[in-house]
Structure 1
């Protein structure tokens, strides 16, 4: 089983569909003004087709696995996510290059998608660690990763130079295989709570 495969993954809240050009219109509509965010690269509506092509080319080279995040309630793609920094020899990968449209933020979509990605990584691919990386200034993302149950490993100072000339300090988090059972229960309980709140 290849780390660079992107099979269909689904639960009652979300489908992770293999990213395809057919997702362009939904994603261009979902992204809104997020692409203006200075501390993380998110494609604009006009650049969405090129971003999809770029991710699919990287996947064809075995560098990433790319999905569209589809809200099960609407059947529409509301974001993108990938496995990247694939390291099967050391049984590690990163979940990243993720964005979610504003309408889907704060809903069950993100924890449900992360549950699917983590289940595949730990239960199917046999990973011993799954990593998350985010910009020091992306406080929303850092808080969301911490809510998953990931632990902060450290900060890579002056890690990346962005096109706008700013330099990113990268905050690195991870979940270990020994932590996965507890993280899974936490995610399942979060989703159950959202279901109860909606009923």
Structure 2
């Protein structure tokens, strides 16, 4: 169901992540503040990034589509994002594993990227539910998800084991196909 495709607005382009994006992605991902709430800092070196790309980012093309986020004005890689955990039976997926370089945060990048992913999910893939998850304490991410219009579903306790052996509590949000027209309209006003 998921096919490699390019999605774009007048300000950003989502391109299927490839080896050609990795050098720029590593540079954008150097700032430690980006990785505070993320279990694996995959931009820490070219070797780690290449391993992540080959082993994690491409693990199952039937379940996920990973994108490089490109700012079209500068043709710069600003981060990456994905549609993943595609469930064709229940017509749902998750949007996430997004990171945006510090210089691009609180800019047009995240709004445009999420708009493109949501539009693709609901209007092209025919999904009925999109989920977003983030660390319970990641208030910046939670605010960005809520700003999209996603419904807060609650905190799922100890649902993800972290590399240090501790467990994280996860804040979960969703957008359904019934919610999409209103959310789409609002996002298009912001674009």
Whole-Å separation in 2 of the counterparts to 1:189 and 1:9: 18
> How far apart are 1:63 and its partner, in Å?
2.8
**Residue 140 (structure 2) aligns with:** 140
Where in structure 2 are the equivalents of 1:1-199 lying within 5 Å? 2-3=1-2, 5-34=3-32, 37-41=35-39, 42-46=41-45, 47-60=48-61, 62-191=62-191
Secondary structure, counterpart of 1:12 in structure 2: coil
Which range is displaced more, 36-45 or 130-139?
36-45
**Can you give the 5+ residue segments of structure 2 that lack an aligned partner in the other structure?**
none
**Residue 196 (structure 1) aligns with:** none
Q: CA RMSD in A?
A: 1.5
Aligned length: 188
Q: Structure 1 residues 91 and 78 mapped into 2: Cα distance closer, same or farther (>3 Å)?
A: same
Whole-Å separation in 2 of the counterparts to 1:6 and 1:175: 23
Whole-Å separation in 1 of the counterparts to 2:126 and 2:32: 34
Per-residue CA shift, 1:34-65, capped at 9, x if unaligned?
Answer: 377332134224022222222453134x2311
> How far apart are 1:33 and its partner, in Å?
1.7
> How far apart are 1:25 and its partner, in Å?
1.0
**Can you give the 5+ residue segments of structure 1 that lack an aligned partner in the other structure?**
192-199
Asked whether the equivalents of residues 91 and 129 of structure 1 are also in contact (C-alpha less than 8 Å), the reply is yes
Whole-Å separation in 2 of the counterparts to 1:68 and 1:52: 12
Asked whether the equivalents of residues 80 and 98 of structure 1 are also in contact (C-alpha less than 8 Å), the reply is yes
**If each structure's helix is expressed as a fraction of its own residues, which one has the higher value?**
1
